[in-house]
Amino acid sequence: MPYRNMTLAELAKHIGMDARELKRLADKGVLPGRLIGGEWRFNRFQMLDWLQREMHNLDEKHIRNLDRAMSTSDEETIISDLLATEAVDMSLPAKSRPSVLRELVNLAERTGLLYDRLELLEALEDRESLAPTALPGGLAFPHPRRPLPYATAESMICLARVPHGVPFGGPDRRLTDLFVMVCCHDERQHLLTLARLALVFNNTPLAEELRAVENDEQAVECMIAAERKVLEQRR
């Protein structure tokens, strides 16, 4: 089963975190799990939910470890592989959270890879109702709660800038103007994409560069260059 329970050791290996630290989080009730026969067990789907919600609260070391654990090699690119120029709009015509989600789905449709528009939109809305995907600094990474292998022909990300920003539930109460929508086909790629996005926005001037670009092609170039810098830092 895709979302079977994992032991503490299996979870630690899966997400690249120290088993002792995970146990402390579980003992404190921070990490969702169940004690069975005195041993912690963790449901994969619950852990996927937890990691998505808490990604912005993880420290730099944990995000890097998650990125490395989900990567097939130190050279694996993800942003440059999933982002097409057709999926970019640096003047997105949206004025509210619902309209942002609709316009992001329109971007996905523009690539010709979207099979099920309604499924993707409903999945994005469901995730936002669980907890906003907005982060401090005017960023948001809208995404479904779980991979959607049948909604699109390929995994993808869509990039958008709403020039004046919209209220999107950011913890700093700032208007959100930069959006990266994530739609992947499997859990590994889903978590890797979210971790990689966190790294490129935290460790490069990418956000300010995207606010300054004049066209969609420049935005793609900035995203690819930022990912390249993050990968170079691994060496």
Tell me: the pLDDT tens digits for 9-50? 999 988 888 899 899 989 998 888 999 988 999 998 888 888
What is the arithmetic mean of pLDDT over 47-68? 86
Question: Which DSSP letter does residue 57 get?
Answer: G
**1-5, 205-209, 230-234: lowest mean pLDDT where?**
1-5
- Average pLDDT of the residues of the chain: 92
Residue range 196-221, pLDDT digits in tens? 999 999 999 999 999 999 999 999 99
DSSP code string of 52-109: HHHGGGS-HHHHHHHHHHH-SSTT--SHHHHEEEEEEETT----SHHHHHHHHHHHHH
1 — pLDDT class (breaks 50, 70, 90)? very low
CATH class of this structure's domain 79-234: alpha beta
CATH of domain 5-57: 1.10.1660
For residue 3, the model assigns a pLDDT of: 55
CA distances from 188 to 49, 56, 69, 192, 193 (A): 13, 18, 9, 6, 9
- Pairing outcome for strands 39-43 and 34-36: antiparallel
Domains of the chain, residue spans: 5-57, 79-234
Residue 66 pLDDT greater than 60, yes or no: yes
Same fold, 5-57 and 79-234: no
Q: What whole-number distance in Å separates Cα of residue 113 and Cα of residue 126?
A: 22
Give how far the C-alpha of residue 229 lies from the chain's centroid of Cα atoms, to the nearest Å: 19
Q: What whole-number distance in Å separates Cα of residue 181 and Cα of residue 142?
A: 5
**What percentage of the chain reaches a pLDDT higher than 90?**
74
95 — pLDDT class (breaks 50, 70, 90)? very high
Residue 186 pLDDT greater than 80, yes or no: yes
C-beta of residue 203 within 8 angstroms of C-beta of residue 230: yes
DSSP-based three-state secondary structure for 115: coil
Assigned token pair, 176: 């959100």
**58-72, 105-119, 206-220: lowest mean pLDDT where?**
58-72
pTM (2 d.p.):
0.90
